[in-house]
Amino acid sequence: MTVVSSEVRLGMTNSQLPRVNLLPPEIAETAMLRKVQVSLGVGLIATVGVVGLLFVSASHSASSASSDLDRASSQSTTLIKQKASYANVTATYDAAAAAQAQLTTAMGREVRYSQLLHDLSLSVPSTVWLKSLTYTQAAPAAPAAGPAGAAAAASIGTLAVTGVGFNHDDLALWLESLGGQKNYSDPYFSASTETLMGTRKTVNFTSTATLTPAALSGRYTKPLGD
């Protein structure tokens, strides 16, 4: 014998069963409102949580940055102390540079006259005697523009010589001898006069030349010890 349920016998499924909601609409609405209120409350709490998380994150970031700043400040203090311990190094270097500059100012225009005299003694023609000579070094002038400035730059002083030769040609020889040296330029004479020395005819002359920058020793324009 086969057992058949009443639903099958009636030819109906569960879904086709008629449902009847007997809950009053006011109560259903109140229940729905309660659900919505709870959901909204949870949403608000979540919002507060998100804001709180953002605040904690920002606070953490600020605190971390503050710690980094403290560390950097502490390192800075150490480095400043360390640098201060080298103060004498800086002071010594500055003072050495300043002292070197002073020495250059003082001696930069040095001319080694002993060497000029030595060179002169080797270059005087055999028919010429020097009676007197005067080297005068000009004070450094402010650089001027134009040809005058260029001429001033090419001259650091003058040489004035009085001497004796056998004839006027000897004076010419003397001037050529001066002009052939790098330390002198513009050899010139102001007088050449025949005279008698004992029984011999001689010529007394006065000459000048310009001292060129080549005569500068240059010993003090580079650092001492180099």
Partner 1 sequence: MTSKMKQWVALAAVAALVLVAGGWFLLVSPKRADAAALRTQVGEKQQANQVLQTQIAALKAQAKDLPKQQATLAAVAAKIPNNGAMPTLIRSLNSAADDTGVELVSMAPTAPTPVVAAAATGATTAATGTARPSGAAAAAVGSLESVGVTLNVVGSYFQVAEYLDRLEGLARAFRVTTFAVVPGSNPVKPSASQPTSDSGKVLSATITGLVFQTQGGSTAALATAK
Footprint (CB under 8 A) of partner 1, residues 151-190: none
20 vs 27 by CB, closer to partner 1: 27
Stretch that binds partner 1, among 10-18, 36-44, 176-184, 200-208 (CB under 8 A): 36-44
Residue 191: name the closest of 201, 176, 199, 203 by CA: 203
Site for partner 1, residues 96 to 115, rule: CB under 8 A: 96-115
Burial class from Cβ neighbours inside 10 Å (0-12, 13-18, 19+) for residue 155 reads middle
111-115: long-range contacts, CB 8 A cutoff, minimum separation 24:
111/135, 111/137, 111/156, 111/157, 111/211, 111/215, 111/216, 111/217, 112/217, 112/219
Site for partner 1, residues 39 to 98, rule: CB under 8 A: 40-41, 43-44, 47-48, 50-52, 54-55, 58-59, 61-62, 64-66, 68-69, 72-73, 75-76, 79-80, 82-83, 86, 88-98
Of 143, 146, 147, 198, the one binding partner 1 (CB under 8 A) is 143
Distance CA 117, CA 140 (A): 23
- Residue 104: CB atoms within 10 A of its CB come to 14
Distance CA 75, CA 81 (A): 10
Of 8, 118, 144, 151, the one binding partner 1 (CB under 8 A) is 118
202 in contact with partner 1 (CB under 8 A):
no
8 vs 79 by CB, closer to partner 1: 79
* Nearest distance in Å: CB 16, partner 1: 31
Q: State the sign of the Cα–Cα–Cα–Cα dihedral 38, 41, 45, 47.
A: positive
Site for partner 1, residues 3 to 32, rule: CB under 8 A: 29, 32
8 vs 47 by CB, closer to partner 1: 47
